[in-house]
């Protein structure tokens, strides 16, 4: 819910502005969506998280999923993490790539051991248990920003357990 709230915040402002002029109208989600300053019709970014490096100074990693419910192939060219420096798109074996695509009606997933975002210069303001913002930039220049949970490596890094805050260390297999 929190996530949706953040995304629709600019919409809310737009609706509020429209309602001022039109008094009674401004209750149409479709109209609001098309006038959103950010976002992309039919495309949702979800499950965003930043995994902090186990050793401070090392790069961290960010993961997320892009659900493409549109009729178009979408391309991702960059992913930024608020509070961190440069990022790179990496394959599962740490090779840099500059462009990922999602076919219509598919979900493109960045996850541990596979495609991921390598995050350099992780700022000290990024703390496990808090949230930052992840912004995905698409080939056409559109951007989607979503909240990203901040985790520490080892706690939920390999799964999507709904951990409460900083979980205690998982036993190693």
Rule CB under 5 A: say whether 51 interacts with Cu ion.
Answer: no
Residue pair 141/84 in contact (Cβ under 8 Å)? The answer is no
Q: Say whether residue 115 binds Cu ion (CB under 5 A).
A: no
x/- mask, Cu ion, residues 140-169, rule CB under 5 A, reads ------------------------------
110 binds Cu ion (CB under 5 A): no
105: nearest Cα among 66, 65, 70, 140: 70
- What is the 3-state composition of the chain as percent helix, strand, coil, each rounded to the nearest 5? 15, 35, 50
Shortest Cβ distance from residue 118 to Cu ion (Å)? 4
How many alpha carbons fall within 13 Å on the CB side of residue 24? 0
**Per rule CB under 5 A, is residue 118 in the interface with Cu ion?**
yes
The residues in 68-107 that bind Cu ion, with binding defined as CB under 5 A, are 90, 94
Length of the chain measured in residues: 173
Q: Which is nearer to Cu ion, 58 or 101 (CB)?
A: 58
CB of 75 to Cu ion, least distance (A): 20
Report the nearest approach of Cu ion to the CB of residue 93 (Å): 9
**Which DSSP string do the residues of 132-168 spell out, in sequence order?**
EEEEEEETTS-EEEEEEEEEETTSSTTS-----SSPP
Minimum separation from the CB atom of position 154 to Cu ion (A): 17
Question: Which positions lie near Cu ion, rule CB under 5 A?
Answer: 90, 94, 118
């Amino acid at each position: 819910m929190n996530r949706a709230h953040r995304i629709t915040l600019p919409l809310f402002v737009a609706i509020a502005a429209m309602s001022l002029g039109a008094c009674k109208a401004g209750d149409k989600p479709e109209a609001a969506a098309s006038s959103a300053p950010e976002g992309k019709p039919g495309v949702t970014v979800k499950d965003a998280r930043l995994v902090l490096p186990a050793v401070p100074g090392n790069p961290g990693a960010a993961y997320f999923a892009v659900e493409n419910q549109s009729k178009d192939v979408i391309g991702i060219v960059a992913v930024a993490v608020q509070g961190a420096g440069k990022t790179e798109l990496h394959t599962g074996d740490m090779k840099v790539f500059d462009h990922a695509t999602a076919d219509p009606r598919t979900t493109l997933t960045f996850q541990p051991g596979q495609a991921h975002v390598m995050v350099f210069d992780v700022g000290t303001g990024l703390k496990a248990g808090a949230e930052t913002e992840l912004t995905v930039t698409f080939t056409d220049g559109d951007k989607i920003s979503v909240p990203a949970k901040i985790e520490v490596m080892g706690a939920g890094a390999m799964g999507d357990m709904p951990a409460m805050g900083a979980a205690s260390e998982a036993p190693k297999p």
